[in-house]
Amino acid sequence: MDVQYFVSIFILLWRRTDSSDAYPKLCFPEDFMFGVATASYQIEGGWNVSGKGESIWDRYTHQYPERVFDHKNGDVSDDSYHRYKEDVKLLKELGVNFYRFSISWPRILPTGFINDINKDGIRYYNELIDELHRNNIEPVVTMYHWDLPQVLQDLGGWTNPIIADYFVDYAKVLFKEFGDKVRFWLTFNEPLSFCHDGYGGNDAPGGQASGLEDYMCGHNVLRAHGKVYTLYSKEYRNEQQGSIGITLDIAWMEPATTSKEDQDAAETARQFTYGWFAHPILTDEGDYPQIMRQRIDQNSKRQNFARSRLPHFTSDEVQEIRSSFDFLGLNHYTTYMVSPGDNKTSAVPSFNNDMGVSMSQKAEWPKSNSSWLKVVPWGFRKALNWVKTTYNNPNILVTENGISLKPGLHDPKRVNYIDGYLRALHDAIYKDKCRVIGYTYWSLLDNFEWMRGFSERFGLYEVDYESAERTRSPRLSASYFNNVATTGCLPTSSDDYVEYTLTNK
Ligand code: GBH
């Protein structure tokens, strides 16, 4: 018996006799759903088997291995393409209500187009979905989590307006093949990330034209999203009875001080990072947020562009995009402090210059193993409240929330992270009346963390990348999450929660 064990038993007994309960029993609504998420390129492997086409992440990681932190790629990763049955066993063991995964476009359509539908790809996702249903786990399906067919990128990818039609063709195949078995669809995961980091940053496909290509990408993503929503409503909704959303990356933007300048800067940051996509879909105004329109139009003029770098929607597009959601997918990990930037128009355009703010994180916020991710549970509650008041209290599915830590099965810091964020979520639901229908932990498994390779681990299950079997082992956090998912409640002070938190000191 070690000291840690004694300490936790002592604390457990001490808390039991303590009348002031620091952690009251908190339960979520009866029909609230708990789940976990993954994404195709991050876990599947099997990058060139059974007829799969090349994706932009295959091309990018092969062509520029040195750009990825550990020079690795998703060729094999967790090998979930071959081990999905094992994954479903873990989901069953976790006791979750749903599994959010994504479909690889080039696994379904190797050429990007519907001239070649890959039977094995269809078979794979049918088997996965059937295996989930056999185990009473609801599939929540993301159509696009960043792995675009390379063929389409060769035509300009998301910067080419025609891609919206090809995305509709792809979506039609998904509705036809899987729609009778899927109740929750997400068109896109985090357009901010794949448009800004992909076309104006360091992610695949490696575009370096921020302030131009990222806005073109965003525009076409919104057009594509509106078209797919319309398609579903016209041709599939009646029969299939599912609902469609889009997942946005919603970090909380807190003013650095209470000054008017900082409050305005924080609001500008919210509008540029999530209003960019939320405003056209969730408001009636039919354009990007006013502050984006104003700042980008003005900077474009000063930079001698003939027209604004931020495109305009046609009136048909406005119609199609407006209200094109049944629920909002919300990814939330962390918080930033915001103050105004220097507010000078730069000669070279960029998203950051257009936004014109400066963001930082506080030194005292607990760290994760990712430079951008600090632990700030209260930011989650504020983010949910901002969405509630700005967009008339939409239905929200939290589609990602999680923390990276160093490898190891004893991960009390992850338990604390989840517990803290779930308490904030509970307040948002019960005290603030935010409409949240479910919570998703990112991720079921350690996986290929894009430009950070396998160096950042978010899994409830650890994956051993040295073993041919890619052995999965449950972390402490898996048993914590199992407890929450099966009881629908957070542990109280007289439960294991105290042990989880306090042995961590
Ligand atoms: C999620 O994005 C993704 O949806 C998911 O695929 C991923 O596995 C998960 O995060 C964990 O990383 O390196 O300083 O340039 C969360 C939003 C946006 C956070 C891009 C990291 C890069 C910051 N991400 N950001 S930096």
The 10 Å Cβ neighbour count of residue 417 is 24
Residue 4, pLDDT above cutoff 90: no
CA of 193 to the centre of ligand 1 (A): 7
Ligand 1 pocket test, pick from 442, 443, 445, 449 with the greatest ligand atom count within 8 Å of Cβ, gives: 442
Q: Tell the residue nearest (CA) to atom 19 of ligand 1.
A: 372
DSSP class of 210: T
Alpha carbon 49 to its chain's center: 27
Q: Tell the residue nearest (CA) to atom 8 of ligand 1.
A: 449
Which one is catalytic: 177, 190, 254, 400?
400
Q: Tell the residue nearest (CA) to atom 11 of ligand 1.
A: 449
**Interstrand relation of 436-442 and 98-102 (parallel, antiparallel or unpaired):** unpaired
Strand ranges inside 391-435, DSSP E: 396-400
SS3 149: strand
List of long-range contacts for 111-116, beta carbons under 8 Å, 24+ apart: 111/53, 111/149, 111/151, 112/53, 112/148, 112/149, 112/151, 112/152, 112/166, 113/151, 113/166, 113/169, 114/169, 114/170, 114/172, 114/173
Q: Tokens 């900082």 — which residue? A: 262
CA of 233 to the centre of ligand 1 (A): 31
d(CA 247, CA 234): 22
The percent of residues above 90 in pLDDT, for the chain, comes to: 92
Q: Tokens 């924080």 — which residue? A: 266
415 CB-contact burial (10 Å; exposed 0-12 / middle 13-18 / buried 19+): buried
Q: How confident is the model at residue 23 (pLDDT cuts 50, 70, 90)?
A: low
CA of 353 to the centre of ligand 1 (A): 21
Q: How confident is the model at residue 316 (pLDDT cuts 50, 70, 90)?
A: very high
Is there a contact between 414 and 477 (Cβ–Cβ < 8 Å)?
Answer: yes
* pLDDT confidence of residue 22: 58
pLDDT in tens, 137-150: 999 999 999 999 99
SS3 331: strand
SS3 414: helix
* pLDDT confidence of residue 3: 40
Q: How confident is the model at residue 20 (pLDDT cuts 50, 70, 90)?
A: very low
d(CA 406, CA 6): 25
Q: Tell the residue nearest (CA) to atom 16 of ligand 1.
A: 249
CA of 331 to the centre of ligand 1 (A): 10
Residue 502, pLDDT above cutoff 50: no
Which of ligand 1's atoms lies nearest the C-alpha of 443?
8
Residue 204, pLDDT above cutoff 70: yes
CA of 451 to the centre of ligand 1 (A): 9
CA of 450 to the centre of ligand 1 (A): 8
Ligand 1 pocket test, pick from 210, 214, 372, 401 with the greatest ligand atom count within 8 Å of Cβ, gives: 372
Which of ligand 1's atoms lies nearest the C-alpha of 372?
14
Q: Tell the residue nearest (CA) to atom 13 of ligand 1.
A: 372
* pLDDT confidence of residue 17: 40
Strand ranges inside 103-172, DSSP E: 138-144
SS3 323: coil
Q: Which residues line ligand 1 (CB under 6 A)?
A: 39, 189-190, 193, 197, 249, 331, 333, 371-372, 400, 442, 449, 458
* pLDDT confidence of residue 343: 86
> Which of these, 190, 151, 183, lies nearest to 170 by C-alpha position?
151
Mean pLDDT, rounded, for 217-226: 99
> Which of these, 196, 330, 360, 335, lies nearest to 253 by C-alpha position?
335
Is there a contact between 150 and 104 (Cβ–Cβ < 8 Å)?
Answer: no
> Which of these, 486, 449, 462, lies nearest to 369 by C-alpha position?
449
Residue 122, pLDDT above cutoff 70: yes
What is the token pair recorded at 499? 């042990």
pLDDT in tens, 27-71: 999 999 999 999 999 999 999 999 999 999 999 999 999 999 999
DSSP class of 182: -
Q: Tell the residue nearest (CA) to atom 6 of ligand 1.
A: 39
Task: Please give the mean pLDDT across all residues of the chain.
Answer: 94
CA of 119 to the centre of ligand 1 (A): 32
pLDDT in tens, 86-108: 999 999 999 999 999 999 999 99
* pLDDT confidence of residue 21: 52
Q: Tell the residue nearest (CA) to atom 24 of ligand 1.
A: 193
Mean pLDDT, rounded, for 460-479: 98
Q: Tokens 């309960």 — which residue? A: 21
What is the token pair recorded at 408? 């190891």
d(CA 340, CA 260): 10
Establish whether 400 is a catalytic residue. Answer: yes
d(CA 71, CA 455): 10
Q: How confident is the model at residue 18 (pLDDT cuts 50, 70, 90)?
A: very low
